[in-house]
Structure 1
């Protein structure tokens, strides 16, 4: 599928448009659509808030009407959770952004993620023309996010629709070599002897240490640092 576009309807402040453009740049989205936008000249807050998105996303934004948006795109409207159920279909049923990521991955059509106004979001009339609804689960005590927050959270959850593997950071855990980890266990066992740790407790303590280290997947640098601490303690005891 093509990358979803991001549409902002009747934003009150240019700064929020800039914030959304920046979030788009963060997570790989490129096409910004604007319905009844505020002034977005280069001297506006939008360019101050947009970060590097001021170079491409923001200046390339396209203005269109809500009717054009609804006619040209499969639209997903974002709204606050309103505790509606199956008896009302204005804002229900809805998907969370995480659920939406899975469903949109299989949609082979031009899609627009639609965000409404800062204070009131999308109106019921607008939502009636939206193809599907998404909402961000938040605390019942205060479930409403501001426009910039809502867009940033949603675009983060949907980033896999916009970025390929070459754009994602390398978050692989660089676990220490098994030889280095086993060397640490040998060192720790000798440390227990050196501090006169009760012999009858050493096996159990080593099992606990092995399980704990096994869960953490330490890096080589972490193993070397811990062994350095053990050596320093051993030297202090001499």
Structure 2
């Protein structure tokens, strides 16, 4: 399955260039343009495209909406989805955070479809879209800039487009459970070393375990705390 980005009737060349740049950031190469503005190589589209002006933007394919709808599995983006199933035009919807998982299960060539700067995709266009996606934003102003919306969507696709092996490790990943259990043991040793009342140690240890359970400490945090606790025990022995 290949992934493309389709932009329908964009008004601003700069937005097309910015979308191309975001595509380059997240390893998506195929740009589809329906009724695009003129993309002058000396104009703002190429100026905003960064390194994507070398391949993604000049290799963009212009096509009709009919060709887009019939050639690709389409995921259209809308700012304000219907909240229930009384209308089937904008319902049901998925959120952008679900895109990577969804793409992994689609076998057909897929296009993420973005509409006009002011009105997005029309209801007639959405009626021909296979799936609808939204990016949650403030109810008082849920409409995102076209290029911003595309960038957020592509970011949410990163696990699919880049592959998990290319993503940096999560710096906040919870420490190994054996290391955390070792920290609990160090804490119990501290309670004993400082002379905490024996009858209160079990309750205090349980309190500590609950606090640590909510905290999801990283490996580095656990190692640091264990080192501190060891030094406390050593100092109390001196």
User: How many residues are matched?
Assistant: 235
Does the CA contact (< 8 Å) of 2:190 and 2:232 recur in 1?
Answer: no
Distance 1:52 1:42 in 2: 13
Name the residue aligned to 1:113: 112
Cα distance change on mapping 1:127 and 1:83 into 2, 3 Å: closer
Cα distance change on mapping 1:188 and 1:59 into 2, 3 Å: same
Cα distance change on mapping 1:75 and 1:186 into 2, 3 Å: closer
Does the CA contact (< 8 Å) of 1:181 and 1:223 recur in 2?
Answer: no
SS at match of 2:196: coil
Name the residue aligned to 1:192: 191
RMSD over aligned CA atoms reads 3.6
Does the CA contact (< 8 Å) of 1:14 and 1:38 recur in 2?
Answer: yes
Structure 2 residue runs of 5 or longer lacking an equivalent are: none
1:144 matched to 2:158: no
Task: Compute the displacement of 1:20 (Å).
Answer: 2.0
Task: Compute the displacement of 1:147 (Å).
Answer: 1.3
TM-score, with length taken from structure 2? 0.74
Q: Greater CA deviation, 82-91 or 21-30?
A: 82-91
Name the residue aligned to 1:178: 178
Q: Greater CA deviation, 4-13 or 84-93?
A: 84-93
Cα distance change on mapping 1:79 and 1:187 into 2, 3 Å: closer
Structure 1 residue runs of 5 or longer lacking an equivalent are: none
Name the residue aligned to 1:162: 161
Cα distance change on mapping 1:61 and 1:167 into 2, 3 Å: farther
Distance 2:90 2:109 in 1: 22
Does the CA contact (< 8 Å) of 1:18 and 1:48 recur in 2?
Answer: yes
1:91-110 equivalent positions in 2, closer than 5 A: 91-97=90-96, 104-110=103-109
Name the residue aligned to 1:64: 63
- The one-character-per-residue Cα deviations of 1:90-137 (angstroms, maximum 9, x if unpaired) are 434444445665555444333222101111112234334434433334
1:41-56 equivalent positions in 2, closer than 5 A: 41-56=40-55
1:13-52 equivalent positions in 2, closer than 5 A: 13-52=12-51
SS at match of 1:197: coil
Does the CA contact (< 8 Å) of 1:176 and 1:217 recur in 2?
Answer: no
Does the CA contact (< 8 Å) of 1:80 and 1:145 recur in 2?
Answer: yes
Distance 1:190 1:88 in 2: 63
- The one-character-per-residue Cα deviations of 1:182-219 (angstroms, maximum 9, x if unpaired) are 2x445433433454433332232223334544562541
- The one-character-per-residue Cα deviations of 1:58-79 (angstroms, maximum 9, x if unpaired) are 3322222333323432333222
